[in-house]
Amino acid sequence: MPFGEKGHGETPMVHATFRMLIPPKRRGEVLDILSSVTERSRFEPGCISSRVYQGVEAEPVLMLDQLWESGEDLECHLRSEEFRKVLLMVEMSLEPPEIRFEEISRATGVETIEKARSSPGGEEKP
């Protein structure tokens, strides 16, 4: 079933992640390109967030993390010329890249922490 088809009229958000192990000599170049793509993606319809992360471990890992309002918005981005640059960076990965698309039908915030830390009697757990 394509992204966004739920049957209940609901269109879930989509969290997209691309994790790549980049050769050390190419890391700066790839980081610059992914940063540029990230900046431009933020102005595309339906883009909630777009970020690039660097691994702090010894491995030269880069990750592109995006959140889209709908699968339709994501699919439009995946067909874009801008995304073509991401595909070129993915091809540089030293190992098969980790690519994930996760549909999010519900999201919560601090209330989840408050609920988890409260006992049935309303007292906070230590």
Look up the CATH number of the domain holding residue 44. 3.30.70.100
More confident residue, 18 or 8: 18
Domain of residue 51 covers 13-117
Q: Does a structural domain hold residue 4?
A: no
For residue 105, what pLDDT band results from cuts at 50, 70 and 90? confident
Q: Does a structural domain hold residue 8?
A: no
Q: Does a structural domain hold residue 126?
A: no
Q: Does a structural domain hold residue 84?
A: yes
> How many domains, in total, are found in the chain?
1
CA distance 69 to 109: 17
pLDDT surpasses 80 at 119: no
Q: Does a structural domain hold residue 90?
A: yes
Long-range contacts of range 82-88, CB-CB < 8 Å, 24 or more positions apart?
A: 82/37, 82/40, 82/41, 82/44, 83/37, 85/33, 85/36, 85/37, 86/18, 86/34, 86/37, 88/33
Q: Does a structural domain hold residue 64?
A: yes
What does the pLDDT read at residue 121? 56
Over pLDDT 70: what percentage of the chain? 86
Which residues neighbour 9 within 8 Å (Cβ) at sequence distance 6 or greater?
none
pLDDT surpasses 50 at 1: no
